[in-house]
Structure 1
Amino acid sequence: MKLVIAEKPSVAAEIAKVMGADKRGNGFFKGNEYVVSWCVGHLIETVMPEAYDEKYQKWRIMDLPIIPNTWKYQVSAGVQAQFDVVKTLMESDDIDEIVCATDAGREGELIFRLVYNQTGCNKNFKRLWISSMETKAIKDGFAKLKDGKEYDRLYQAALCRLQADWLVGINFSRLFACMANAQINIGRVQTPTVNLIVERQRTIDNFDSKPFFILTAACSHDGTNFTATKRVENKEESDKIVEKCTGKSAEVVSMTQAPVKENPPALYDLTTLQREANKMLGLSAQQTLDATQNLYEKKLVTYPRTDSRYLTGDMADSTTRILESILKAPYIDSRTPELYNLDAVNTERLINDKKVTDHHAIIPTIEAWKASDKLPKNEFHILLLIIYKLLTAAYVPHEYIKTELFLNIEGEEFKATGRQISENGFKEIAAHLSELVKSSQKADAEENGKGKGKKSKKKQTEEKEEEIIPALTEGEIIQNVEVTSKEKSTQPPKPYTEDTLLSAMENAMKTLEDEELKKEVAGAGLGTPATRAGIIERIIKTGFVERKGKNLLPTEKAFEVVDIVPEKVKSAVLTAEWEQKLEQIYKGEFASDEFIEGIVTFVGEMVKSYTEDCVYDEKGREIIGKCPRCGKNIYEGKKNYYCEGGMECGFTIWKEDRFFVSKKKPLTKPMVKAFLEKGRIKAVNLYSEKKDTTYSAYIFMEDTGQYVNFKLYFPKNINF
Structure 2
Amino acid sequence: MGKTLIIAEKPSVASDIAKALGNIKKDGDHFENDQYVISSAVGHLVEIGEPEAEEVKRGKWTFAKLPVVPTHFELKPIEKTADRLKQLTRLIKRKDVTELVNACDAGREGELIFRLIQQHAKAKQPVKRLWLQSMTPTAIRDGFAKLRSDAELQGLADAARSRSEADWLVGINGTRAMTAFNSKSGGFHLTTVGRVQTPTLALMVEREEKIRKFVPRTYFEVHATFDAKAGQYAGRWFDEKFRKGDDEHARAERIFDTPEAKASASARAKAIVLKCLGKPGIVEEESKPTTQAPPLLYDLTSLQREANSRFGFSARTTLSLAQALYEKHKVLTYPRTDARALPEDYVSTVGQTLEQLEETNRYGQFAREIRNKKYVRPANKRVFDNTKISDHFAIIPTLQLPKALNELEEKLYDMVVKRFLAVFYPSAEFQQTTRITRVEGEAFKSEGKVLVNPGWLAVYGKEADTEETGNLTPVAAGEKPKASEVTAKELQTKPPARYTEATLLSAMEGAGKLIDDEELRAAMQEKGLGTPATRASIIEGLILQKYLVREDKVLKPTPQAFSLITLLNGLNVPELTQAELTANWETQLARMEKGEISREKFMAEIAAMAKHIVKQAKGHESDTVPGDFADLATPCPRCGGAMKENYKKFSCTKCDFGFWKILAGRQLSVDEAETLIRDKKIEGLEGFRSKLGRAFNANLRMNDAQEIEFYWDEDEGKVGEGADPVDFSTMEPVGKCPKCGSGVFELESAYICEVAAKKEKPRKCDFRSGRIILQQPIEREQMVKLLTDGKTDLLTKFISTRTKRPFQAFLVIERKKDEVKVGFEFPPREPKAAKAPASKGKAKA
**Secondary structure, counterpart of 2:443 in structure 1:** strand
**Secondary structure, counterpart of 2:522 in structure 1:** helix
**Who is 2:311 aligned against?**
281
Residue of structure 1 aligned with 2:469, choices 452, 465, 472: 465
**What CA distance in whole angstroms lies between the structure 2 residues aligned with 1:69 and 1:558?**
33
Superposed, 1:360-509 pairs within 5 Å as 360-365=393-398, 367=399, 370-372=400-402, 374-431=404-461, 461-471=465-475, 477-509=480-512
Instruction: Tell me whether 1:186 sits opposite 2:193 in the alignment.
Output: yes
**Who is 1:582 aligned against?**
589
**Who is 2:775 aligned against?**
none
**Who is 1:448 aligned against?**
none
**What CA distance in whole angstroms lies between the structure 2 residues aligned with 1:215 and 1:178?**
59
Task: Quickly say closer, same or farther: Cα 1:664–1:42, change in 2 above 3 A.
Answer: farther
**Secondary structure, counterpart of 2:97 in structure 1:** coil
**Secondary structure, counterpart of 2:166 in structure 1:** helix
Q: Is the 8 A contact 1:363 1:390 kept in 2?
A: yes
**Secondary structure, counterpart of 1:496 in structure 2:** coil
Residue of structure 2 aligned with 1:568, choices 571, 575, 578: 575
Cα displacement string for residues 315-349 of structure 1 (whole angstroms, at most 9, x for unaligned residues): 4x426624642551405345535765634555514
1:128 aligned partner, one-letter code: L
Task: Quickly say closer, same or farther: Cα 1:500–1:376, change in 2 above 3 A.
Answer: same
1:587 aligned partner, one-letter code: K
Q: Unpaired runs of 5+ in structure 1?
A: 435-459, 615-621, 626-635, 637-656, 680-684, 693-705, 710-720
Bigger drift between 422-431 and 90-99 goes to: 422-431
**Secondary structure, counterpart of 1:468 in structure 2:** coil
How far 1:218 moved relative to its partner? 1.2
Bigger drift between 61-70 and 480-489 goes to: 480-489
Residue of structure 1 aligned with 2:603, choices 576, 596, 603: 596
**Who is 1:646 aligned against?**
none
How far 1:557 moved relative to its partner? 1.9
1:470 aligned partner, one-letter code: P
Superposed, 1:130-529 pairs within 5 Å as 130-131=132-133, 141-142=143-144, 144-181=146-183, 182-230=189-237, 231=253, 232-233=255-256, 234-252=265-283, 254-297=284-327, 300-315=331-346, 317-318=347-348, 321-322=351-352, 324-325=354-355, 327-333=357-363, 335-337=365-367, 342-347=373-378, 348=380, 349-365=382-398, 367=399, 370-372=400-402, 374-431=404-461, 461-471=465-475, 477-529=480-532
1:163 aligned partner, one-letter code: E
Cα displacement string for residues 158-198 of structure 1 (whole angstroms, at most 9, x for unaligned residues): 11111101111011111111222221011000111111122
**What CA distance in whole angstroms lies between the structure 2 residues aligned with 1:357 and 1:344?**
26
Task: Quickly say closer, same or farther: Cα 1:515–1:133, change in 2 above 3 A.
Answer: closer
Instruction: Tell me whether 1:109 sits opposite 2:111 in the alignment.
Output: yes
Bigger drift between 392-401 and 232-241 goes to: 232-241
**What CA distance in whole angstroms lies between the structure 1 residues aligned with 2:11 and 2:470?**
54
**What CA distance in whole angstroms lies between the structure 1 residues aligned with 2:673 and 2:533?**
52
**Secondary structure, counterpart of 2:564 in structure 1:** helix
**Secondary structure, counterpart of 2:76 in structure 1:** strand
Task: Quickly say closer, same or farther: Cα 1:659–1:133, change in 2 above 3 A.
Answer: farther
**What CA distance in whole angstroms lies between the structure 2 residues aligned with 1:289 and 1:356?**
20
**Secondary structure, counterpart of 2:128 in structure 1:** strand
**Who is 1:605 aligned against?**
612
**Who is 1:99 aligned against?**
101
Q: TM-score, with normalisation over the residues of structure 1?
A: 0.76
**Who is 1:549 aligned against?**
552
Q: Is the 8 A contact 1:160 1:592 kept in 2?
A: yes
Task: Quickly say closer, same or farther: Cα 1:32–1:14, change in 2 above 3 A.
Answer: farther
**What CA distance in whole angstroms lies between the structure 1 residues aligned with 2:367 and 2:14?**
36
**What CA distance in whole angstroms lies between the structure 2 residues aligned with 1:545 and 1:613?**
26
How far 1:384 moved relative to its partner? 2.6
Superposed, 1:669-680 pairs within 5 Å as none
RMSD in angstroms over aligned alpha carbons?
Answer: 3.8
Q: Percent of aligned pairs with the same residue?
A: 36
Q: Is the 8 A contact 2:308 2:501 kept in 1?
A: yes
Q: Is the 8 A contact 1:322 1:364 kept in 2?
A: no
Q: TM-score, with normalisation over the residues of structure 2?
A: 0.66
**What CA distance in whole angstroms lies between the structure 2 residues aligned with 1:192 and 1:208?**
26
Bigger drift between 6-15 and 157-166 goes to: 6-15
**Who is 2:751 aligned against?**
none
Q: Is the 8 A contact 2:5 2:100 kept in 1?
A: yes
Task: Quickly say closer, same or farther: Cα 1:170–1:280, change in 2 above 3 A.
Answer: same
**What CA distance in whole angstroms lies between the structure 2 residues aligned with 1:294 and 1:136?**
27
2:394 aligned partner, one-letter code: A
**Who is 2:76 aligned against?**
74
1:246 aligned partner, one-letter code: L
Cα displacement string for residues 222-274 of structure 1 (whole angstroms, at most 9, x for unaligned residues): 3132111124344444444334432222233x322222222222222222122
Cα displacement string for residues 65-116 of structure 1 (whole angstroms, at most 9, x for unaligned residues): 2111222222223444433332222111021222323333222221121111
Task: Quickly say closer, same or farther: Cα 1:345–1:41, change in 2 above 3 A.
Answer: closer
Q: Is the 8 A contact 1:56 1:63 kept in 2?
A: no
**Secondary structure, counterpart of 2:467 in structure 1:** coil
More helix by share: 1
How far 1:542 moved relative to its partner? 2.0
Q: Is the 8 A contact 1:211 1:487 kept in 2?
A: yes
**What CA distance in whole angstroms lies between the structure 2 residues aligned with 1:53 and 1:532?**
29
How far 1:570 moved relative to its partner? 0.8
Task: Quickly say closer, same or farther: Cα 1:499–1:664, change in 2 above 3 A.
Answer: farther
**What CA distance in whole angstroms lies between the structure 2 residues aligned with 1:215 and 1:483?**
7
**What CA distance in whole angstroms lies between the structure 1 residues aligned with 2:454 and 2:556?**
39
Task: Quickly say closer, same or farther: Cα 1:324–1:47, change in 2 above 3 A.
Answer: closer
